[in-house]
């Protein structure tokens, strides 16, 4: 195991160092909501080595292609440590939720909704790959490859690990896989409608329902488990103008980032009385593609791409919100790198990693209860594009 190639943000003078020392003391004194986790629990980063963007922000084939890959990451007293990687198909296309890892860190699933074109500068080609990985002796191993639909996007697994769902953005479908002995079998393909663009899909805590974000018609759909498969409720929830990335807390509170250029927002939604209900809408910075709840559900981290995927002079930002029942209260904002994607919270919620696809790095942020502090970057083997944690 190698410690990550850490690059500190800046050298500080003595007085600044004393101030940081006091901050660190405060940081360590904060109550830890989730400290009971094993040293071999992992987070994962799916890294895209074939995609870049042109000046218009369109995804194209990179001039220099490196293998797509999956990397393991763990935390040691809040310090991120980059583990081993394995080569497998990944993709930055779609929300940064195209990766899932089991709570016991024994296996993972990664989707790839695109692959490289024939020549540099060509548009990337839509794909449907789903890769199943086992994690043994701190190393990931590709053990199975199956196919979903074109534009394979978010992967979600039921709490009992009997079912897996994949939203397929280009084909307008949701693929249903049954799971046995950590192997996937396609059992059902659910049509969500022409041009529905099911960008995200996520099981609810009961394991009997799942929510699908339909970016095309700006709606949320609810799936119900029938025992043999899943059926779609006829009633849908209209939501914003460009809903995209989705995450939820352990209790079932759902957050959806809305990438409407004129009114970027985060919507909070709950499944109550058998239906999906909008709780609140909060205005946020532009292009809120990165979005993740803290492990204890007290905070929501929302990133802003800020055109950094096409303008090299731009950078992304990350804002941390406190979850106040049905509302979000902004607490702190910090700069990150170019084209931010997935977000990883450490198990205790005090360290955040933000994937910077263009820079092929992750920004390391520390949360001291009052401010976010950028403390360095973590170099990645390719453009980090999606992330998941086992906690």
The reported pLDDT for the residue numbered 360 is 98
pTM for the model: 0.90
> Is the confidence at residue 33, as pLDDT, over 80?
no
Question: What is the rounded distance in angstroms from the CA atom of residue 290 to the CA atom of residue 281?
Answer: 17
Mean pLDDT over 138-155 rounds to 98
Helix (H, G, I), strand (E, B) or coil at 58: coil
For residues 318-341, one letter each, b for 16 or more C-beta atoms within 10 angstroms of the residue's C-beta and e for the rest, the string is: bbbbebeeeebeeebebebbbbbb
- Any idea which residue has 């805590």 for tokens? 205
CATH fold group of domain 6-15+43-389: Methylamine Dehydrogenase; Chain H (2.130.10)
161 within 8 A of 109, measured Cβ to Cβ:
no
> Is the confidence at residue 369, as pLDDT, over 60?
yes
- Going by pLDDT thresholds of 50, 70 and 90, the confidence category of residue 40 is confident
Positive or negative torsion for Cα 188, 192, 194, 199: negative
Q: Which residue has the higher pLDDT, 38 or 152?
A: 152
> Is the confidence at residue 105, as pLDDT, over 50?
yes
364 within 8 A of 8, measured Cβ to Cβ:
no
Cβ neighbours of 311 (radius 10 Å)? 13
- What is the overall mean pLDDT for the chain? 92
Which of the 8 DSSP states describes residue 294?
Answer: -
The reported pLDDT for the residue numbered 1 is 39
301 within 8 A of 294, measured Cβ to Cβ:
yes
DSSP per position, 4-37: --EEES----HHHHHHHHHHHHHHHHSPPSS---
- Going by pLDDT thresholds of 50, 70 and 90, the confidence category of residue 142 is very high
192 within 8 A of 214, measured Cβ to Cβ:
yes
The reported pLDDT for the residue numbered 24 is 42
Q: What confidence tens digit (pLDDT) does each residue in 252-301 have?
A: 999 999 999 999 999 999 999 999 999 999 999 999 999 999 999 999 99
The reported pLDDT for the residue numbered 36 is 43
263 within 8 A of 305, measured Cβ to Cβ:
no
Q: What confidence tens digit (pLDDT) does each residue in 219-233 have?
A: 999 999 999 999 999
Mean pLDDT over 143-172 rounds to 98
**Residues near 159 by beta carbon (within 8 Å), at least 6 away in sequence:** 203, 205, 207
Q: What confidence tens digit (pLDDT) does each residue in 190-212 have?
A: 999 999 999 999 999 999 999 99
Tokens of 30: 């904060």
């Amino acid at each position: 195991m190698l410690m990550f190639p850490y690059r500190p943000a800046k050298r500080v003078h003595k007085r600044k160092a004393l101030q940081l020392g006091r901050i660190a003391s405060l940081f360590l004194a904060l109550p830890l909501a989730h400290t009971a986790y094993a040293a071999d629990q992992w987070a994962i980063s799916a890294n895209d080595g074939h995609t870049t963007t042109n000046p218009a922000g369109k995804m194209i084939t990179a001039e220099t292609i490196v293998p797509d890959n999956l990397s393991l990451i763990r935390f040691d007293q809040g310090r991120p440590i980059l583990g081993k990687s394995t080569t497998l198909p990944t993709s930055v296309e779609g929300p940064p939720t195209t990766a899932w890892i089991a709570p016991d860190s024994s296996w993972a699933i990664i989707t790839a909704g695109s692959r490289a074109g024939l020549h540099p500068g060509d548009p990337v080609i839509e794909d449907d790959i789903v890769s199943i990985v086992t994690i043994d002796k701190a190393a990931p191993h590709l053990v199975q490859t199956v196919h979903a639909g074109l534009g394979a996007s978010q992967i979600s697994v039921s709490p009992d690990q009997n079912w897996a769902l994949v939203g397929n953005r280009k084909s307008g479908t949701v693929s249903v896989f049954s799971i046995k002995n950590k192997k996937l079998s396609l059992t059902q393909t659910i049509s969500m409608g022409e041009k529905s663009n099911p960008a995200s899909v996520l099981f609810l805590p009961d394991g009997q329902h799942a929510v699908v974000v339909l970016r095309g018609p700006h709606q949320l759909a609810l799936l119900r488990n029938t025992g043999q498969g899943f059926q779609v409720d006829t009633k849908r929830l209209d939501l914003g103008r460009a809903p995209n990335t989705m995450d939820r807390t352990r209790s079932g509170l759902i957050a959806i980032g809305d990438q409407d250029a004129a009114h970027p927002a985060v919507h909070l939604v709950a499944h109550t009385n058998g239906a999906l209900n909008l709780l609140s809408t909060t205005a946020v910075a532009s292009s809120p593609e990165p979005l993740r709840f803290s492990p204890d559900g007290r905070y929501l981290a929302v990133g802003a791409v800020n055109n950094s995927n096409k303008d090299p002079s731009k950078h992304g930002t990350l804002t941390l919100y406190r979850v106040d029942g049905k509302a979000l209260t902004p607490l702190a904002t910090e700069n990150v790198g170019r084209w931010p994607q997935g977000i990883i919270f450490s198990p205790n919620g005090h360290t955040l990693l933000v994937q910077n696809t263009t820079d092929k790095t992750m920004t390391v942020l520390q949360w001291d209860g009052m401010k976010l502090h950028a403390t360095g970057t973590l170099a990645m083997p390719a453009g980090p594009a999606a992330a998941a944690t086992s906690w």
